[in-house]
Amino acid sequence: MRRVITGVVDGKSVFLADGEPANAHEYTGWPGHLTSVVWATAAPVALPVTRDAEPQPGIRVSPEAGETRLMVVRFPPDTIFADPRFDGPGYGAEAATHLPGLIDAFEPDGSGFHTTRSIDYDVVLDGEIWLELDDGAETRLGQGDIVVQGGTRHAWRNRSDRDAVMLFVLVGAGGA
């Protein structure tokens, strides 16, 4: 994945970075799964953007009110869960390191359901994925489809035979 960051130096637009994000991780416990926190902002969001603001591994993924996170996630087909290479406890340990805050939002039963205190703008970049809500309602999403996730309990399911790649913009929310 290529990531380009622009900023201002001496009053002129410049490329601050062009290349791999510093915070990307491919999981051994969940083969094929990748997460990358590409960018993060603190509250209040301020300019100028600096290269020093690039999120490093270990950043808290779930944003506090007014903060943002930009993530890319690759979901392998759900059939991987039956593969002997899948290691639930190993994945849990990796996720605790690479998805702090977010992994805590997942229910401990392994169902994939989670609830975040954020409004998320979710875009399917490649493949297809199913969004499941807590009442059992589901919808299939394909390339270019957009979801506005308003802090609801949900799970992502890749029922296809190929990877699905999604872009997530998480905006930390306050309120009840």
The predicted structure's pLDDT at residue 1 = 84
Please, which pLDDT band fits residue 176 given cuts at 50, 70 and 90? low
Confidence band (pLDDT; 50, 70, 90) for 175? confident
The answer on pLDDT for 52 being more than 90 is no
CA gap 14, 136 in Å, rounded = 48
Tell me the average pLDDT across 154-172: 98
The SS3 assignment for 4 reads strand
Give the pLDDT score at 84.
Answer: 95
Number of domains making up the chain: 1
Q: Residue 86 belongs to a domain with what CATH number?
A: 2.60.120.10
What's the pLDDT at 73? 98
Q: How confident is the model at residue 54 (pLDDT cuts 50, 70, 90)?
A: confident
Average pLDDT on 147-158 reads 97
Query: Tell me, what's the pLDDT at 29?
Result: 96
pLDDT (0 to 100) of residue 51: 81
The alpha-carbon radius of gyration of the chain (Å, integer) is 17
Q: What is the pLDDT of residues 6-40, one digit of tens each?
A: 999 999 999 999 999 999 999 999 999 999 999 99
- The model's pLDDT over 74-133, given as tens digits with 9 standing for 90+, comes to 999 999 999 999 999 999 999 999 999 999 999 999 899 999 999 999 999 999 999 999
pLDDT for 139 beyond 90? yes
CB of 42 closer than 8 Å to CB of 22: no
Q: Could you tell me which of 123, 127, 132 has the C-alpha nearest to residue 155? A: 132
Where are the strands (E) in 23-76, listed by range? Answer: 24-26, 34-41, 68-75
Instruction: Give the pLDDT confidence score for residue 53 in this predicted structure.
Output: 81
Q: How far apart, in whole angstroms, are the C-alpha atoms of residue 23 and residue 36?
A: 5
Q: Which domain holds residue 107?
A: 3-172
Count of H-run helices and E-run strands, the chain: 1, 11
Q: What are 53's two structure tokens? A: 């603001």
Which amino acid, residue 28? Answer: T
pLDDT at 148 over 70: yes
